[in-house]
Amino acid sequence: MDDEPLDFEVQDDLLVSLPINKKRKKAIGLDDLLDDHYKEQDKLLKKNNKKAKKKAKEKKKYEAEDVKEAYLTRIVEKCHNQLKAFGEESEIPVWGVKVFGDQKPFPPLDFPDLESCNFIQSFLNNKLNSVVELAADKGDSFLEGLLVNGWLSKLAFLSCQVEKPVAIWAFNTMLYSSKEELQNSSSDFWCGILSSGKEVDQFSVKIDWFPEYKDLRSALDTYGFLFKFSSSAGHESSASDSGVPPQNIRAWITLVTSCCLIRNKKAIFSTVEAEEIVEIIICLFLDRQFQGLLVLLNDCMKAIVNYFTDQEWRSSCENIAKFIACRVSEDLNCIQIVECVSEASSRCTQLRSAIAYQSLLSFFDGANNGEEILKSLDATNFKDKNCNFFKMYIHLVLTENWVLSNSFVEDDQEIYEMFCSFLKHCSTLISATDLRTYASKVRHKASYLLHFSV
């Protein structure tokens, strides 16, 4: 048999012998290893040099930042020393006065004898009651149910009468009940009764008993209202219940508003009593706890101010202003008292101006009139190191409200010119770089007023 490969063996590449690589590998000598070693050493040296340069650059950067920080520190210290040259800045408290102290025990709520209430008995004997099945023998809950569900008001309008026992009970429930639902329902009952009647001078129902001012004042006394307080004491918050008015104060304010709106039907308050109510409402504005009741307080303020006749208001406005000015100290509270009186009506605007004027008179002991007040203000030396810009700011705001809120003062050309002169001095003589407390506020306030006054 021949040794020649078969056909399938010729075609199979795997069976074909690979050519022998006759090229021999080059032998690695000692010189080659030494060259490789030197190359690696050069690379490592370059790498270390690069790291060293980077570290030196970062170190230089940090040193430059340290120099800048030290420079800024010296500037801050210099500014701080300059501020010390004007004197240490005293802490200025915010406005606010605590007008409520410790509460007294609430009086018991005595329920009236329903058998003596004709309009309730007439309803119980009515065939309509057979449907709702109300029974007076259920006790106190019966009358409270009538009040909360609105039936008590409906019975009063149906019978055209509110008998004394029920009126007193609803009044006491409103001011002394601890249940908010009863407070609101009794307040709605009284406000609805007082506002009833299409005629200006007539009620639609006969009311056998009206609350008097002594009843309202007694409630405030029970709540812990401080009829005599010092505004310099400031507002101190406490975690205890001391100084926190009860929830019933809402109903008290609402009822006073309703009583003021029925002057044509019945004058519940005398002139002196109405003056004291204005003073009480203004004092409530000073307590930060009443910031959530500003709408109620503003409505009450407008109602009580309009309660006076034109003849009564002439003297009452000044009396109220003098009383208020004597109760507050020369701090932010006197500004708050002025600004809490809205300018919604001419009387409120007049009262606002009067309080500001009387406050200025009390702060300037030697001043007897407006001209002397403005002369004292205009003579202020703003360059004096002892110039109190905080008090100057108070005087500026009070003078603004006195002059610009009173049409009679605006018509006095001499007073108005003196006021504008004072504003010019404040806006030009106080440097923009003056860093003393309230200096910039006085300057900016005066510039603003001057822009719109001249």
| Mean pLDDT of the 408-437 span | 83
| Length of the chain as a residue count | 454
| Mean pLDDT of the 85-111 span | 78
The region of weakest confidence among 118-132, 287-301, 342-356, 384-398 is 118-132
Element (H, E) at 134: none
| Mean pLDDT of the 376-382 span | 89
Task: Using alpha carbons, select from 345, 426, 331, 332 the residue that is nearest to residue 379.
Answer: 426
Is the confidence at residue 306, as pLDDT, over 90? yes
Q: What's the pLDDT at 159?
A: 85
Q: What's the pLDDT at 198?
A: 74
Enumerate the β-bridge partners of residue 162. Answer: 207
The separation between CA 348 and the C-alpha centre of its own chain, rounded to angstroms, equals 21
Q: What's the pLDDT at 244?
A: 84
Is the confidence at residue 360, as pLDDT, over 90? yes
| Mean pLDDT of the 290-301 span | 94
Q: What's the pLDDT at 248?
A: 94
- CA atoms within 13 A of residue 348's CA, in its CB half-sphere: 17
| Mean pLDDT of the 178-203 span | 88
CB-based burial label for 176 (10 Å; 0-12, 13-18, 19+)? buried
pTM of the model: 0.76
- What 3-state DSSP class applies to 361? helix
| Mean pLDDT of the 55-67 span | 70
Element (H, E) at 207: strand 206-207
pLDDT band at 260 (very low <50, low <70, confident <90, very high): very high
- pLDDT above 70 covers what percent of the chain? 78
Question: How far is residue 427's CA from residue 257's CA, in Å, rounded to a whole number?
Answer: 43
Is the confidence at residue 429, as pLDDT, over 80? yes
pLDDT band at 3 (very low <50, low <70, confident <90, very high): low
The region of weakest confidence among 195-209, 373-387, 415-429 is 195-209
Q: What's the pLDDT at 110?
A: 81
CA-based radius of gyration for the chain:
43
Report for 130-144, 148-162, 260-274, 398-412: range of highest mean pLDDT: 260-274
The region of weakest confidence among 10-24, 50-64, 220-234, 431-445 is 10-24
Q: Which residues, other chains included, contact 198 with Cβ-Cβ below 8 Å and sequence gap of 6+?
A: 204
Task: Using alpha carbons, select from 87, 275, 119 the residue that is nearest to residue 207.
Answer: 119
Is the confidence at residue 6, as pLDDT, over 60? no
Is the confidence at residue 9, as pLDDT, over 90? no
> How does the average pLDDT of the chain come out, rounded?
82
Q: What's the pLDDT at 432?
A: 84
Question: How far is residue 268's CA from residue 277's CA, in Å, rounded to a whole number?
Answer: 12
Is the confidence at residue 14, as pLDDT, over 70? no
Do residues 203 and 191 lie in contact, with contact meaning Cβ atoms separated by under 8 Å?
A: no
pLDDT band at 45 (very low <50, low <70, confident <90, very high): confident
Q: What's the pLDDT at 235?
A: 47
Enumerate the β-bridge partners of residue 225. Answer: 100
Question: How far is residue 305's CA from residue 319's CA, in Å, rounded to a whole number?
Answer: 13
| b/e 55-79 (16+ beta carbons within 10 angstroms → b) | eeeeeeeeeeeeeeeeeeeeeeeee
Do residues 380 and 423 lie in contact, with contact meaning Cβ atoms separated by under 8 Å?
A: no
Enumerate the β-bridge partners of residue 161. Answer: 206
CA separation, residue 282 to residues 245, 277, 286, 336, 348 (Å)? 16, 9, 7, 10, 12
Residue/partner pairs of 145-149 with CB below 8 Å, 24 or more apart: 146/120, 147/173, 147/182, 147/185, 147/186, 147/189, 148/181, 148/182, 148/185
Is the confidence at residue 93, as pLDDT, over 70? yes
Q: What's the pLDDT at 351?
A: 94
| Domain definitions of the chain by residue range | 330-454
Question: How far is residue 373's CA from residue 419's CA, in Å, rounded to a whole number?
Answer: 10
Q: Which residues, other chains included, contact 167 with Cβ-Cβ below 8 Å and sequence gap of 6+?
A: 207, 208, 209, 210
